[in-house]
Amino acid sequence: MPSLGADMEKGKVVEWLKKPGDPIARGDVVAVVETQKGAFEIEAFEAGILGEILVPVGVEAPVGAVLARIDGPGAAPRPAMAAPAPPRPAIQPVASPPPRPAQIATGRPRISPAAARRAIELGVDTRGLSGSGPGGAIAIADVEAAARKPAAPQPSAPPTGTPGPRRGFDPAAMRQAIATAMARSKREIPHYYLSLPIDMGIASEWLAAENARRDVERRLLPAALLLKAVALALRAVPELNGFWVEGAPRLSPSIHVGWAIALRGGGLMAPAIHDADRLTLDQAMAALRDLTTRARVARVRGSEMMDPTVTVTSLGERGADSVFGVIYPPQLAIVGFGAPRITALPVGDAIRPRPVVQATLAADHRASDGALGSRLLATIDRHLQRPESL
Amino acid sequence: MTTTYREAIKQAIRDALNRDERVFLMGEDVGRYGGCYAVTKGLLEEFGEARIRDTPLSESAFVGAGIGAAMAGLRPIVEIMTVNFSLLALDQIVNNAATIPHMSGGQFAVPLVIRMATGAGRQLAAQHSHSLEGWYAHIPGLKIVAPATLEDARGMLWSALEDPNPVLIFEQVNLYNMEAELAADAGAVPLCGAAVRRAGRDLSLVTYGASLHKSLVAAQLLATEGIEAEVIDLRSLRPLDDATIMASLARTRRILVVDEGWRSGGISAEICARVAEQGFYDLDAPPARLCGVEVPIPYPKHLEDAAIPQVETIHAAALELVRPSGRST
């Protein structure tokens, strides 16, 4: 049971996506765990064959407990334990090969067109079904077998697009988790606050020109520039990237930016965009889109909750002028961006209307001082004045 | 009565010569030698030099002469020894025969019939063994047929002569010695429309020519393992009978195209594209193909056999489609 945040003590397994005997690649999503903050996908850290499952669905386990064993590559697949296999449909006579997971690395199920149509007719949720077709794809027979089983408590699959919300998402529990973390932050962390207005004129013009050349789906949002600017600035000021652990700062060599996402049903999470300083703007944009979409349907992975080394909160177009964030413990800093406002700004000898964003920093005074924090904000500013180099 | 595919074609030619005085046959060695596959043996003695004409070794010349004769009102049957040699007459076939009815606004019909041998299996090596009928099926203005049974060998020729368009008849070389029953009163059959040669529910084997018979044997093998394959004989490669293919797919939901021709850009690719376009939501597995290996057909027997679909490979491909062995695609 991985720790999905400093305040987590236990979690409940709500779904196993792999069965004993299934091959597992590093990074595969193997299970879904429910915590106070919602349901999260748990990835495998090792490759191999899934051996015995030790914590079945519906059971709570403390952080650190062993959920299942992964046998080394080459280990003989074990016979499936748990529930007996569903009866084979009549159209499949004699012996069949063992069912294989119909998931591929993208998480999109492989399903034949005929099976997909039949699933809609029968109202069968194909997520998690095993496939008996070529390449492990879900075939009609698999769908019809699933339809014959007693109705599962799962909601039927939405016809296309993003999968629906996970079970186990409880806004009240998430509120409680936020309360715990924020109270701990304000109790333990001596925050200091800095702010710097940043002229976004050049960045806006560059973005408009860049987007004019792009297809709609490839357009960039200002958020991608902000994300990249913060990540690059943290390379120059690494003292603000990392954690406060056991009375001392522990800096992180990687820059994993936790991006604060407000959830529609209330609540907030800040999952990681890994190695944000090494992403191109297109990759950063894609990562933001992907993460936002998944966060809103509670499909964020455990590693994304564990990994952030810093947090960025951006209020967007309709937000307030500025935000002084509360550090997510045990991180060292949180960077905030207010809504862009047209502001009278001296440019050379004249006063000009310019789009201005208030950049703010809340940092842990135990680990750093205001001069260092100022350097971070100034570096972010400098990057945003040269958007073409982001 | 039991007879051969070769004899069924000869009967068809004799019948056409008797029925219509405008019909005549020409090609290399069709007269005195009796045809390189002995299809026309004896016809010169029976019908004389005016109607059974040996030509110089120039495919371009005698196919062109056939086009002219057809435009002028005759009903020529042109024999080309093998599809490989027909490439020498491509200009006449593709630029003239196929286009003249269109370019003349329908003033000229080209009721020309070209028969040719196709395919591998006789150890004749790469310049005499290819299966290029799928190429010709690309050309609007032509009709492309491939009789695989004695009934079709006997019956397609007359229908082809009646057709105002140029018709190419492809005779797979391994079929000439095939023996089967043929009704004494066997006659003309429609040129187009695929035939379901074996009904089944688990997958559709779509094929034509000599591969039909290999597919039927493979289907018998599959039946002993509880898999019922439907076997479709395309009969015509242009036009293709989409309706029969899609109706079969709707029953079986799996399709394997068996084609001696090469895979890339072949008739099997066209069939799979149509299946994806018209039958997508009936598919319970990706459309599959078993084609000729993409090499010039080799001369040695074991390599020639390995280069084209065989009963064992058809059986294995069908099995993989219905009961995947677990190898990921």
What is the complex's ipTM, to 2 decimals?
Answer: 0.73
How confident is residue B120, by pLDDT bands cut at 50, 70 and 90?
Answer: very high
The mean per-residue pLDDT over the stretch B265-287 comes to 96
pLDDT for the residue B26 = 98
Residue A287's closest CA among A272, A298, A302? A272
Residue in A with minimal Cα distance to B283? A114
The mean per-residue pLDDT over the stretch B249-254 comes to 96
Q: Which of B181, B203, B229 is the last residue of a domain?
A: B181
Q: In this structure, what CATH number is given to the domain that contains residue B226?
A: 3.40.50.920
Most confident of A110-119, A132-141, A361-370: A361-370
- Give the class (CATH, top level) of A1-85: mainly beta
| Chain mean pLDDT for chain B | 96
Q: Which single residue is written with the structure tokens 């007269």?
A: B31
Distance CA B27, CA B35 (A): 8
User: What is the total count of domains within chain B?
Assistant: 2
Per CB-CB distance under 8 Å, the chain B contacts of A94 are 225-226
How confident is residue A315, by pLDDT bands cut at 50, 70 and 90?
Answer: confident
Is B188 inside a domain boundary? no
Q: Is residue A158 predicted with pLDDT exceeding 60?
A: no
The mean per-residue pLDDT over the stretch A299-316 comes to 87
Distance from CA of B219 to the nearest CA of A (A): 16
Distance CA B95, CA B10 (A): 30
How confident is residue A364, by pLDDT bands cut at 50, 70 and 90?
Answer: very high
A116-138 per-residue burial string, b: 16 or more CB within 10 A, e: under 16? bbbbeeeebbbbbbbbbbbbbbb
| DSSP summary character for residue B310 | -
Residues B29 and B131 occupy one common structural domain: yes
Which tops the pLDDT comparison, A102 or A150?
A150
pLDDT for the residue A86 = 44
Distance CA A37, CA A306 (A): 13
Q: Is residue B137 predicted with pLDDT exceeding 90?
A: yes
Residues B51 and B152 occupy one common structural domain: yes
- CB contact at 8 A, B114 and B63: yes
Q: Give residue B251's identity as a one-letter amino acid code.
A: R
Percent of chain B scoring above 70 in pLDDT: 99
At a CB cut-off of 8 Å and minimum separation 6, what does B151 contact?
A: B8, B182, B183, B186, B189
pLDDT for the residue A81 = 42
pLDDT for the residue A107 = 57
Residue in B with minimal Cα distance to A139? B284
pLDDT for the residue A169 = 59
Distance from CA of B213 to the nearest CA of A (A): 26
Residues B95 and B239 occupy one common structural domain: no
* Domains in chain A: boundaries: 1-85, 87-148, 171-389
Residue in A with minimal Cα distance to B319? A134
Ranges A296-310, B84-98, B210-224: which has the least confidence: A296-310
Known catalytic residues of B are: 59, 128
Per CB-CB distance under 8 Å, the chain A contacts of B280 are 113
Most confident of A67-81, A164-178, B259-273: B259-273
pLDDT in tens, A229-268: 999 999 999 999 999 998 999 999 999 999 999 887 778 8
Q: Is residue A95 predicted with pLDDT exceeding 60?
A: no
Q: Is residue A103 predicted with pLDDT exceeding 60?
A: no
- Establish, for the pair of chains A and B, how many residue pairs have beta carbons separated by less than 8 Å: 50
pLDDT for the residue A150 = 62
Q: Is residue A348 predicted with pLDDT exceeding 60?
A: yes
pLDDT for the residue B302 = 96
The mean per-residue pLDDT over the stretch A134-140 comes to 88
Residues B150 and B200 occupy one common structural domain: no
pLDDT for the residue B116 = 98
Q: Is residue A75 predicted with pLDDT exceeding 70?
A: no
Residues B166 and B240 occupy one common structural domain: no
Q: Is residue A183 predicted with pLDDT exceeding 80?
A: yes
How confident is residue A102, by pLDDT bands cut at 50, 70 and 90?
Answer: low
CB count within 10 Å of CB B112 equals 31
Phi-psi region of A316 (alpha: psi -120 to 50; beta: other; left: phi over 0): left
- Please tell me which of the candidates B226, B281, B320 has its beta carbon nearest to residue A94: B226
Interface of B with A in 257-286 (CB under 8 A): 280-286
Q: Is residue A162 predicted with pLDDT exceeding 80?
A: no
Residue in B with minimal Cα distance to A140? B284
Q: Is residue A50 predicted with pLDDT exceeding 50?
A: yes
Residues B79 and B168 occupy one common structural domain: yes
Per CB-CB distance under 8 Å, the chain B contacts of A134 are 285-286, 320-321, 324, 329
- Please tell me which of the candidates A94, A112, A136 has its beta carbon nearest to residue B284: A112
- CB contact at 8 A, B171 and B116: yes
Interface of A with B in 116-155 (CB under 8 A): 116-117, 132-137, 139-140
- Please tell me which of the candidates A94, A117, A133 has its beta carbon nearest to residue B285: A133
Is B101 inside a domain boundary? yes
Q: Is residue A84 predicted with pLDDT exceeding 70?
A: no
Distance CA B320, CA B329 (A): 11
At a CB cut-off of 8 Å and minimum separation 6, what does A335 contact?
A: A230, A310, A311, A312, A313, A325, A359, A360, A361, A376, A380
Please list the residues that pair with B203 across neighbouring strands: B229
pLDDT for the residue A48 = 86
Is B186 inside a domain boundary? no
Is B8 inside a domain boundary? yes
- Are A134 and B286 a contacting pair at CB < 8 A? yes
Residue A119's closest CA among A101, A146, A137? A146
CA atoms within 13 A on the CB side of B308: 29
Q: Is residue A338 predicted with pLDDT exceeding 80?
A: yes
Q: Is residue B81 predicted with pLDDT exceeding 80?
A: yes
pLDDT for the residue B117 = 97
Percent of chain A scoring above 90 in pLDDT: 42
Q: Is residue A83 predicted with pLDDT exceeding 80?
A: no
Inform me whether the C-beta atom of residue A87 falls under 8 Å from chain B C-beta atoms: no
Residue A332's closest CA among A190, A232, A167, A209? A190
Per CB-CB distance under 8 Å, the chain B contacts of A119 are none
Q: How far apart are the first and last CA of chain A?
A: 38
Residue in A with minimal Cα distance to B320? A134
How confident is residue A105, by pLDDT bands cut at 50, 70 and 90?
Answer: very low
Q: Is residue A33 predicted with pLDDT exceeding 90?
A: no
At a CB cut-off of 8 Å and minimum separation 6, what does A217 contact?
A: none
pLDDT for the residue A94 = 40
Q: Is residue A161 predicted with pLDDT exceeding 50?
A: no
The mean per-residue pLDDT over the stretch B89-118 comes to 97
pLDDT for the residue A294 = 85
Burial of B277 (0-12, 13-18, 19+ CB in 10 A): exposed
Residues B63 and B154 occupy one common structural domain: yes
Task: Give the residue numbers spanning the domain of B133.
Answer: 2-181
Per CB-CB distance under 8 Å, the chain B contacts of A98 are 326
The mean per-residue pLDDT over the stretch B213-225 comes to 97
pTM exceeds cut of 0.80: no
Q: Which single residue is written with the structure tokens 């057709």?
A: B163
Helix (H) / strand (E) containing B186: none
The mean per-residue pLDDT over the stretch B47-64 comes to 97
Distance CA B277, CA B285 (A): 15
Per CB-CB distance under 8 Å, the chain B contacts of A116 are 281
Residues B99 and B170 occupy one common structural domain: yes
How confident is residue B313, by pLDDT bands cut at 50, 70 and 90?
Answer: very high
Residues B64 and B159 occupy one common structural domain: yes
Distance CA A202, CA B113 (A): 74
- CB contact at 8 A, B110 and B166: yes
Q: In this structure, what CATH number is given to the domain that contains residue B152?
A: 3.40.50.970
Is B111 inside a domain boundary? yes
Q: Where are the alpha helices (DSSP H) in chain B?
A: 5-19, 43-47, 59-71, 83-86, 90, 100-103, 133-136, 150-162, 210-224, 242-252, 267-279, 301-307, 311-322
Residues B170 and B293 occupy one common structural domain: no
Q: Is residue A72 predicted with pLDDT exceeding 90?
A: no
Q: Is residue B24 predicted with pLDDT exceeding 60?
A: yes
The mean per-residue pLDDT over the stretch B20-30 comes to 98
Interface of B with A in 234-253 (CB under 8 A): 253
Radius of gyration, alpha carbons of chain B: 20
How confident is residue A28, by pLDDT bands cut at 50, 70 and 90?
Answer: confident
Interface test with B, best of A92, A112, A140 (most B CBs within 10 A): A112
Is B95 inside a domain boundary? yes
Is B328 inside a domain boundary? no
Residues B149 and B230 occupy one common structural domain: no
Q: Give residue B311's identity as a one-letter amino acid code.
A: V
pLDDT for the residue A34 = 81
Is B207 inside a domain boundary? yes
How many whole angstroms from its chain centre is CA A333?
19
Residue in A with minimal Cα distance to B250? A114
pLDDT for the residue B16 = 98
pLDDT for the residue A79 = 43
How confident is residue A355, by pLDDT bands cut at 50, 70 and 90?
Answer: very high
- Are A135 and B329 a contacting pair at CB < 8 A? yes
Q: Which of B121, B147, B181 is the last residue of a domain?
A: B181
Distance CA B74, CA B62 (A): 14
pLDDT for the residue A166 = 52
Distance from CA of A164 to the nearest CA of B (A): 24
- Right CATH for A171-389 from 3.40.250.10, 3.30.559.10, 1.10.1040.10, 1.10.472.50: 3.30.559.10
Residue A147's closest CA among A166, A120, A167? A120
pLDDT in tens, B152-182: 999 999 999 999 999 999 999 999 999 999 9
pLDDT in tens, B303-312: 999 999 999 9
